[in-house]
Structure 1
């Protein structure tokens, strides 16, 4: 199966509110349609992740993330920070729109977002028409998967995964507050 067929099949699964694994800058991520509560619930169950922690959303450009961001609270400096290119993956914690579902924000009034230039993220989001959830592809207690084969080993031979390489980043994204630049997770 070539990559185009693989991507088309995975996009169809995303539209059917299923979970897929896809490569990001450093590791494989687990993604689903962030507007589907049933898909997010399946993802949280699979990861054994409490809903209170919230999730990261990833997309190739800001347009996909705007439905979740409370734009009224951002100034020009914030927009520049969000759109800037960094030498390592950077996730920003931003104010969430009041309409952003609690199953995405968890206990917070914020949402974590990342613009990624990884070709897998670009192709999946553009073809699906929405941002993706992004949480590392690993079962609790196991290391994040860095290869297609590792995803199959942890999640089973039939788990839907995009067969592409991860990017060149050594570590998963750092997470920072957009306003204060406080570091929540080292990258």
Structure 2
């Protein structure tokens, strides 16, 4: 596993790699959202069923547009999202037709977040698109909070580790249904 800076992982991700990186609250695992092979590998590493779906994190809202169907959201609903972004709020939004089930799971929606974390911002800006993001842990276990925990859990299984500080949040992002406004987590 290579320890990398955010601007050094673009090629690894574009070639189907899985990387670990700090987020607002915990370390995350991520990959290219347009690479089903990479997503399948990430799900296997986590021992997570595909049916649960995943989160996409982005550096700006425009990066999410190829994946979500914003035409199914009202201006009022979108404005409620925009006042929370960038930040530790994940919104469930309708998907565009044809989106990989590996991303949305057994749902017709997708969890998305515009992150304020500088590492995620840098990675997504470099990629020019969002990153699949899920907590760095095996299903049912607590998420990794440090590089040392990443190495202990995933050494030899991921392609790069981006060290850095976690954000100020003490728990994973709040998840809100963008249509109903209901807080899900």
TM-score, normalised relative to structure 2: 0.92
Give the CA deviation at 1:141: 3.8
Q: Which contiguous aligned blocks of 4+ residues in structure 1 show a shift greater than 6 angstroms?
A: none
In structure 1, C-alpha distance between the alignment counterparts of 2:89 and 2:9, rounded to whole Å: 25
Q: In the alignment, which residue of structure 2 is the partner of 1:22?
A: 21
Gaps of 5+ in 1: none
Q: Is the 8 A contact 1:46 1:139 kept in 2?
A: yes
Q: Secondary structure at the match of 2:21?
A: strand
Count of aligned pairs: 182
Q: Secondary structure at the match of 2:80?
A: helix
**Over aligned residues, Cα RMSD in angstroms?**
1.8
Tell me: higher relative CO, structure 1 or 2? Use CA pairs within 8 A at least 6 residues apart.
2
Q: In the alignment, which residue of structure 1 is the partner of 2:68?
A: 69
In structure 2, C-alpha distance between the alignment counterparts of 1:72 and 1:49, rounded to whole Å: 31
Gaps of 5+ in 2: none
Per-residue CA deviation, residues 102-123 of structure 1 (Å, 9 max, x unaligned), is 1111111100101111001110
Residues 89-168 of structure 1: pairs in structure 2 closer than 5 A? 89-156=88-155, 159=158, 160-168=160-168
TM-score, normalised relative to structure 1: 0.91
In structure 2, C-alpha distance between the alignment counterparts of 1:87 and 1:69, rounded to whole Å: 17
Q: Is the 8 A contact 2:87 2:114 kept in 1?
A: no
Q: Secondary structure at the match of 2:90?
A: strand
Q: Is the 8 A contact 1:94 1:110 kept in 2?
A: yes
Q: Is the 8 A contact 1:22 1:28 kept in 2?
A: yes
**In terms of mean alpha carbon deviation, does 110-119 or 94-103 score higher?**
94-103
Q: Is the 8 A contact 2:87 2:116 kept in 1?
A: no
Q: Secondary structure at the match of 2:111?
A: strand
